[in-house]
Amino acid sequence: MSRFMTRLVGLTSVGHVVFALAMVQLGAPWWVAIAVAAASVCVFVNRANVYLRGEKRSRLSVSAIDVPYFIHWTAGFIGLPLALLAFVFAPRVAFVLAYAAGLVLAAYGAIFRRRAFSIERTTIEIPGLDPALDGYRIAHLSDLHIGPWTPRAWGLRWARAANALDCDLAVVTGDLIMSGTAFHDDAADVVGALRAKDGVLVAMGNHDYDHGAGGEALVAAVESRGARVLRNEGVDKRGLFVAGIDDRWSRRADLDRVFSQRPRDAITVLLAHDPADFEGAAERGAHLVLSGHTHGGQLAVPFAARHANLGRFHRRHTLGIYRRGKTSLVVHPGLGTSGPPVRLGVAPAIVEITLRACAPLSESR
């Protein structure tokens, strides 16, 4: 196995501890529990390889095999902290209760939460924005992950909802697909269905290149539908310099190249899939950075998702609005899923961003 797959199998094995112990508490011999858990880990390797190859599968097989398996897979991880709590009150059945609660939560996250998206509205004040652009609206989509678990039909529904906002500009900040090349046309159809007065702009994400994704072919498919893919370049939109950097993970991103093209003193909106580029963009004078990548952690504590999500274990900017000086960052919660097809505590969303003029910082003080 690759190093990446080895790590995934290790994590999967840890997640199956609660499942195995629950079987023992229900009366199964320990060797049976270990054997069943080990078999389930082997199933993960098969399912993960399907995911990495981005193979097209029937909706029946996805609904009957993939989603139920990953509900079980996610239940083990959710059950780990729940088991600690349950062990205090009911040690004899703690792992049974923890796994059962994990199943309920994971099933909700897979069947309901990842399907029901919301419209989020936010206002960003930009120092020195031309009054003529006050009220300029951007429909922000990100992390579509069109693939076996996120079908084209879902994406077209998102596009229709974004179009109904009648925004000035529509942007997609990366990860159009899950992996592979089989879903290029489906993802391109979704992006091609977006409409806005000043057009549709796209930045590439790591999944758009990973696992044999064939980024050049995806770019061609998207642009054949009328959108513009920005790879270390920018365009003028009514006086706004709207730029996009290429994928950071494959070392294609080049902030210096982007900002060398910027007209002097231009108000700059940067599309950057990974919010890790926020600091560099702020140092170079960006006014607004639109990112995705994190999915808001994808698994988060309800009503506290911004501060308590899985992404917080390894990054600072995971969801919502952040500021540094005159630069604002909007981290999109994502629309699709990566890894298990489960969401908890953080809803998929389309984000409508309204730009507002304000006095330059030196004047506002």
State the Cα–Cα distance between residues 25 and 91, nearest whole angstrom: 10
Q: Above 70 in pLDDT, residue 365?
A: no
Which pLDDT does position 1 carry in this prediction? 59
Q: What percent of the chain has pLDDT over 90?
A: 79
pLDDT tens-digit map of 11-44: 899 999 999 999 999 999 999 999 999 999 999 9
Q: Above 50 in pLDDT, residue 363?
A: no
Same-domain check for residues 50 and 191: no
Against a cut of 0.75, is the pTM above it?
Answer: yes
Same-domain check for residues 132 and 10: no
Which pLDDT does position 364 carry in this prediction? 40
Q: Above 80 in pLDDT, residue 240?
A: yes
pLDDT tens-digit map of 92-133: 999 999 999 999 999 999 999 999 999 999 999 999 999 999
| Domain limit, last residue, from 113, 135, 150 | 113
**Nearby residues of 296 by Cβ (< 8 Å), 6 or more positions away:** 305, 306, 309, 311, 318, 319, 331, 333, 334, 346
- Number of residues in the chain: 365
Taking CA 199 as the corner, what is the angle to CA 178 and CA 223, rounded to the nearest 5 degrees?
Answer: 50
Total domains in the fold of the chain? 2
Which pLDDT does position 103 carry in this prediction? 97
**Nearby residues of 149 by Cβ (< 8 Å), 6 or more positions away:** 62, 66, 67, 178, 336, 337, 341
| Domain limit, last residue, from 68, 95, 113 | 113
pLDDT tens-digit map of 36-85: 999 999 999 888 887 877 788 888 888 999 999 999 999 999 999 999 88
Nearest to 190 by CA among 154, 231, 215: 154
Nearest to 45 by CA among 8, 73, 70: 8
pLDDT band at 201 (very low <50, low <70, confident <90, very high): very high
Q: Above 90 in pLDDT, residue 193?
A: yes
228 vs 361, more confident: 228
Radius of gyration of the chain (CA): 22
Same-domain check for residues 65 and 134: no
Nearest to 345 by CA among 38, 155, 112: 112
Mean pLDDT confidence for 135-152: 96
CB count within 10 Å of CB 5 equals: 14
Same-domain check for residues 52 and 159: no
What token pair was written down for 253?
């991103």
The domain in which residue 226 lies consists of: 118-364
Same-domain check for residues 124 and 102: no
Nearest to 225 by CA among 152, 313, 277: 152
Same-domain check for residues 65 and 129: no
For 90-126, where are the alpha helices, taking DSSP H only? 94-108
Same-domain check for residues 194 and 238: yes
pLDDT band at 270 (very low <50, low <70, confident <90, very high): very high
pLDDT tens-digit map of 293-333: 999 999 998 889 999 998 888 889 999 999 999 999 999 99
**Nearby residues of 35 by Cβ (< 8 Å), 6 or more positions away:** none
Same-domain check for residues 236 and 313: yes
The 3-state secondary structure of 7-45, one letter per residue? HHHHHHHHHHHHHHHHHHHCCCCHHHHHHHHHHHHHHHH
Same-domain check for residues 157 and 227: yes
| Domain limit, last residue, from 92, 113, 134 | 113
Same-domain check for residues 18 and 68: yes
What token pair was written down for 250?
């494959």
CATH of the domain at 187: 3.60.21.10
Of 5-9, 122-126, 127-131, 160-164, least confident by mean pLDDT is: 5-9
Which pLDDT does position 362 carry in this prediction? 52
Which pLDDT does position 54 carry in this prediction? 79
State the Cα–Cα distance between residues 152 and 48, nearest whole angstrom: 21
Same-domain check for residues 179 and 84: no
110 vs 365, more confident: 110
Same-domain check for residues 105 and 123: no
pLDDT band at 234 (very low <50, low <70, confident <90, very high): very high
How much of the chain is helix, strand and coil, in % rounded to 5?
45, 20, 35
